[in-house]
Each structure stands twice: as C-alpha cells, then as structure tokens.
Amino acid sequence: MNKVVLVLTIIIALLSLAAGAAKVMQTPQEVEFLTGQGLNLNLIIAFGVFQILGGILLLVPKTKLIGSVISLIAFTASAILVFNSGNINFTLISIIPVFILLLLIYLDRIKN
C-alpha cells in the first residue's frame, strides 16, 4: 500500500508542477483558455505558482499534507473552470486528480 501511495503522490506532484509551469510560462493554450474563463495574466501566473508550490510541498514528507490541500484546491479550481467551459468529457478527466488527492489526504489522516 505504501508503494502505491508513493507512486500516486509522485504522479500528482508532477502533474501539479507541469500544470503550474504551463501557466507560469504562459503557454498559448493555457492563456487562451484561462483568459476565456475571465482570468487575467497576473491571476494565471499566480494560479501557476500556487500549483507549483503545491507540487513541491507534496514531495516533501513534512509538508505533504499542506501540499495535498494546496494541490486539491488548485485541481478543483481547474476542474470547475473546465466544467464552466462546457467540456464535460475533459471535466471527468480533470476530477481524477481531485479524487486521488482526497484519497491521499484521507490515508494520511488515518495513518497519523
């Protein structure tokens, strides 16, 4: 079980880092999508930094819980934005990290 949790943690952290980096680097698709959802460039960069912070904290054992919560907030916000765009299929994919993070938080709480 510990190996599965470790693998899921690493996958979610990398996903959070990649998603945040795409926003900070202002990739055209991210900027187009997020400005279409009402975010300006400063908010997009702040959102990206928030995601990167969550991914980094998720990888450090002492800060894993706070990293999980930050990443959960970021992935939930992303899923809501995708849902608001009307893309239901991608919304269903976007909520997978949310459920994985909820599981990781739950497992962390019952362990301690």
The pLDDT tens digits for 53-64 are 999 999 999 999
pLDDT at 13: 97
- Whether 2 has a pLDDT exceeding 80, the answer reads yes
Describe the chain by its helix, strand, coil percentages, rounded to 5. Answer: 90, 0, 10
Query: Which residue segment(s) compose the domain that 77 sits in?
Result: 2-111
How many Å apart are CA 94 and CA 57, to the nearest integer?
A: 21
Q: Give the CA distances from residue 38 to residues 10, 30, 34, 71, in Å, rounded to whole numbers and listed in that order.
A: 31, 12, 6, 21
**pLDDT tens per residue across span 66-101:** 999 999 999 999 999 999 999 999 999 999 999 999
- Model pTM? 0.92
Residue-level pLDDT at 111 = 80
Maximum Cα interatomic distance, the chain, rounded to a whole number of Å? 43
Q: Are 52 and 17 in contact (CB under 8 A)?
A: yes
Number of domains in the chain: 1
